Amino acid sequence: MAPKSTGKNIEAETVLQAVVLADSFNERFNPITLDMPRCLLPLCNTPLIEYTLEFLAVAGVQEVYLFCREHSEKVKNYVKTSKWNRSYSPFKIITIVTPEARSVGDALRELDSKQLINSDFILISGDVVSNIHLKQVLDAHRARKNTDKNAIMTMVVKEASPFHRSRALGESSIFVLDGKSQECVHYESVELYPRKRRMVMDMQVFEKHSDVQIRNDLIDCQIDICSVPALFTENFDYQDIRKDFVYGILTSDLLGKTIYCHMVKDAYAARVRSLQTYDAISKDILSRWTYPIVPDSNLQEGDSYEYMRGQIYKEQDVSLSRSCVLGEKVLIGAGTEIAENVKITNSVIGRRVSIGPNVTIDGAYIWDGVTINANCSISRSILTNNVVLEENVIVNKGCLLTYDVIIGPNITLPPYTKLTSHKQTSENDDGDISEEDESGNQKAASFDISNLSLTDNESSASVISDGSSEEESDFDGPTTLEVFSKEVTQTLERAFSEGHTVEIASLELNTLRMASNTTFHDTRTVVIPTIFGQINTDKLLPSTKDVLSRWGLLIGKLVHSKADQIDALFILQECCAKSEIHNKTFAPSLRILYEIDVIEEDAILEWYYDERSKGGVVKHEAYSKLRDAHESFKRKPSDWDILDFLMNVIRNLSSQRVGFYLTSLETIIKTEEGAFNVSVIQAFNASHKVSVGAQSGKSGIASYSHKIENISNGSISVRRKRTISQESKYNEHVTSSMPKKRNKKDYDIRDTDGSMSDDELPPVS
C-alpha cells in the first residue's frame, strides 16, 4: 500500500496550478467596466481572458482558479460556454467568487483559507498577453529552490526601453538585482505624480552583494511563480503584490525570504493595464509582435480571420464596397458592411458593424453591433457595443462612447468626451474601489489613442493616453498632459538657466514625449509659450531676436512637415494674442523663424489663408497691411497707394521673397466676383518704375525695378528692370533708406495663372 500512496503524492505534486485574477481592483476602464468585467473586454475582437488562458494552456497548466468579484455571473457564463469547458480542454477551470475582496491580497488570503494550493503555482492577471515559454521560467524557479530554501517567488520581467509603448503610463518600477543570481534585493515603485526623485536603500545590500544592478528598463509582466500564499494570511495588511508584498518581504529583517527575477529578452509580454496599453498592445498584435498569438490563429471557436498584405485581417462574411480604402493595421470582424468612399486606418472593427458612405476612421476601436451613418469621422476613440452615430457626426480623439449610446445627427464631440447610458452607482467597476491604481499612482490621464493625444500620443499609447498624453481614467488627480506640461516646462527652465545646447534640450524633450506617450503637437503647445516666456519685455525686440535666434531652432526640432509648421504658427499666433506686449513680437518672430529655416514660405501662406487664422486673433504685420490695403484700394485707388504699400511691405518685412508679396497682393485686389478692380488695373498700368528692396537674412539687399505692364484675364506680367528712375519722387522717398543694390541682372517673369513660381524667381543667396 505504501508505494501506491507515494504515487498519489507524486501525482499531486506534479499538478501545475495557476491563479488568474479576473478583477483589476482599479477604475482605469471606467465607465466601460460598469457593464462588463475587464477580462471580457475585446482586444482585437477576442476577450482579454482568452489570451491569458491560451498562454497557460501552452505552459502545461492543469488547474486554473479564476478569481472574480464584480460581474461574476458574466465571467462564469463565458467560461461555461467557451472551449475551456469542453472535454478536450487542457485544464480544469474552477471559478471562485470573492464578493468581499477589495485587493489582490484579499483574494490570495481567500485562496489560502480554502487550502486549494499545495505547491508552487502561477499567479497571473486576466489581462496578460504573452508568448513566453513559461516552462523555462518554471524550471529556473525550481532549480533556485533547490539551492535557496528561502526562495518564495520568481517575477517575470521583460527588457524594454523605459519609454516602450506597452509600458503603462505611470508604470515605472526600479528593480535592484544581484548581477549573478538575479535575486531582487530591492524594489521601488515609482509613482507618476508626484515624481519621485530619490530612492533609499539599506547599505547592507551592497555589503551582501558584490555585483548590484539598478534597473528601470524592465517591464513588469505581472506573471509570477509563487510558493503557497500563507504569507498573505500571516501579513493581513498586504494589499498589492508589488508595492506591499514584494517591498515588505525585501525590507523585512525577520522573514528572511528571497525573491528572484527571470528576465525575458526575445519574447513578448504585456498587460492591458489601461486604455493607453489597450491601444499599444492592440497595435502590437496587429503588427504580429505577439506571434503566434495573432488574429489569424483564431483563438476562439468560430473565428475565421485571414491575414492579408499590409497587416490587414478580415473574417469571412465581410461586405466591402469597391471604393472603400483599408490602410495598414486594420482588423474587420464577420458580418460587417462597409459602404462607398470609406477610409479605415490603424483600427479594429468588430462584428456586425454597419458603416455608411463617406466615413473616415483612424486609430479607433469599433466594437460589435455599432452603426455609423454617412459622413462621420472618428479619430483615436473607442465605441463600445451597439453605439449609433447618426449622419455628420465627428468624434474627436480620446472619446469614449459606451454601450447603446446614440449620437447625432450633426454633432461634433470635443476631444476626450466620455458618454455612457449607464447610471453610475456608488459601486465601482470590477472591484474598482481604490482611489489609486495597482502601482499606487493617481488616476491615469485621459485617453488619446496616440497618447493615447485613449495617444497624445502619441498617445497613447500615446492611445483615454500616454497621455497619449499618453494621453492619455481622468476622473481625479492631474492628467498625463498636465504632468507632461509641468515636466517640459521644468526641463526647459533648467536648459535656459544651465545653458544647455539645443541638441541636449531636444533629446530631453523627446525622452519626455515618449515616456508620456504624447504627440509632437502636445510638445509644441508647451515649448513655444515657454520659449516666449524668456523674452525680456523691457527690451522687447532685441530680446526677441536673441531668444529666437538660439531657441527657435528647438522649435525646428519639433516640426517635420508643412502641417507641423502650420500648427506651430497657430500656437505662436495664440501665444502672442494673449498678451498685448507679445502682440508686437509676432511679426519679428515670424521673420526670424523664417530666416533660420524653421517655417517655410508655403506654410506661412497656407496658414494665412486658413479661416482659423482670422477672427480677433493677432496677425502677421504683412497680412494686416494687406487686408487694410484691400479696403483702401476700393475707396481711393491710385498707383501711389499700391506701390507705396508694396514697397513698405517688402522693406519692413524683408525676409520674404518678392514673389510671395506679389502673389498675396494679387489675391487681395480681386473683387468678390473674381474680376480685377478696374481702378487697380489702371493704377498698375501707370508708367511708374519703382525701386523695391527685397532683403534676405543671409545676403543683404536685392534691388529691383518693377513695372506692371498688364493685368487681364487673371494673368500678371512683371518685368524686373535694371535701371532705377532717379526722376521719380517715389524713388527718392524709398532709396534713401535702402542699402546698395545687389543684383543687376534682367529678369522677365510671366505666369499665366497670375502667380509667380519659385523656379522663376531669381535666386536669393
DSSP state at residue 196: P
Q: What 3-state class would DSSP assign to 704?
A: strand
Please say whether the beta carbons of 282 and 460 come within 8 A. Answer: no
DSSP state at residue 245: I
Please state whether beta strands 377-379 and 347-349 pair in parallel, antiparallel, or not at all (unpaired): unpaired
Strands of 360-362's sheet, edge to edge?
Answer: 325-326, 343-345, 360-362, 377-379, 394-395, 412-413
DSSP state at residue 670: B
First to last CA, the chain: 101
Distances (CA, A) of 195 to 27, 73, 188: 21, 40, 13
Q: Which CATH number fits domain 304-419: 3.90.470.10, 1.10.3720.10, 2.160.10.10, 1.10.287.980?
A: 2.160.10.10
Cα distance between residue 463 and residue 446, in whole Å: 9
If phi over 0 gives left and psi between -120 and 50 gives alpha, with beta otherwise, what is residue 516? alpha
717 Cβ contact partners less than 8 Å away, ≥ 6 residues apart = 708, 709, 710, 749, 750
Q: What 3-state class would DSSP assign to 643?
A: helix
Cα distance between residue 731 and residue 24, in whole Å: 79
- Cα 598 to chain center, whole Å? 24
DSSP state at residue 530: H
Cα distance between residue 151 and residue 153, in whole Å: 6
Please say whether the beta carbons of 367 and 349 come within 8 A. Answer: no
Alpha helices in 517-670 (DSSP H): 520-532, 540-556, 562-577, 580-583, 586-595, 601-609, 621-635, 639-652, 658-668
Please say whether the beta carbons of 39 and 127 come within 8 A. Answer: yes
Nearest to 376, CA basis, from 384, 368, 277, 387? 387
Residue 295 exposed, middle or buried by CB count within 10 Å (0-12, 13-18, 19+): buried
Q: How many other CB atoms are there within 10 angstroms of residue 606's CB atom?
A: 16
E strand or H helix that includes residue 673: none
At 449 the pLDDT is: 35
- Dihedral sign of CA atoms 263, 268, 274, 277 in order: positive
Nearest to 463, CA basis, from 527, 516, 393, 523? 516
Please say whether the beta carbons of 623 and 592 come within 8 A. Answer: no
Please say whether the beta carbons of 252 and 237 come within 8 A. Answer: no
Q: How many other CB atoms are there within 10 angstroms of residue 609's CB atom?
A: 12
Cα distance between residue 528 and residue 554, in whole Å: 9
Burial profile 454-472: b = 16 or more Cβ within 10 angstroms, e = fewer: bbbbbbbbbbbbbbbbbbb
Nearest to 682, CA basis, from 645, 750, 633? 633
Q: Which residue has the cell 458580418?
A: 335
Alpha helices in 557-585 (DSSP H): 562-577, 580-583
Q: 371 pairs with which residues across the strands?
A: 354, 388
At 350 the pLDDT is: 94
Q: Tell me the one-letter amino acid at 571.
A: I
Residue 515 exposed, middle or buried by CB count within 10 Å (0-12, 13-18, 19+): buried
Nearest to 79, CA basis, from 15, 118, 126, 11? 126
Report CA dihedral (270, 271, 272, 278) to the nearest 10 degrees.
Answer: -10
664 Cβ contact partners less than 8 Å away, ≥ 6 residues apart = 605, 608, 622, 623, 626
Residues in the chain: 765
> Is it true that the peptide bond before 292 is cis, omega within 30 degrees of 0?
yes
Backbone angles phi, psi at 650, to 5 degrees: -70, -35
At 493 the pLDDT is: 86
Distances (CA, A) of 575 to 579, 606, 618: 7, 19, 10
Nearest to 469, CA basis, from 403, 519, 540, 419? 519
Nearest to 649, CA basis, from 620, 683, 622? 622
Cα distance between residue 446 and residue 197, in whole Å: 25
Residue 674 exposed, middle or buried by CB count within 10 Å (0-12, 13-18, 19+): exposed
E strand or H helix that includes residue 372: strand 371-372
Burial profile 386-415: b = 16 or more Cβ within 10 angstroms, e = fewer: bbbbbebbbbbbbbbbbbebebbeeeebeb
pLDDT beneath 50: ranges in the chain: 1-12, 426-478, 615-765
Cα distance between residue 182 and residue 180, in whole Å: 6
Cα distance between residue 97 and residue 179, in whole Å: 41
Nearest to 629, CA basis, from 645, 615, 617, 644? 645
Cα distance between residue 725 and residue 21, in whole Å: 88
Hey, where are the domains in the chain?
304-419, 621-760
* The three grid cell numbers given for residue 220, joined into one nine-digit string: 513588469
Cα distance between residue 544 and residue 546, in whole Å: 6
Backbone angles phi, psi at 726, to 5 degrees: -80, -10
Cα distance between residue 346 and residue 701, in whole Å: 50
At 673 the pLDDT is: 36
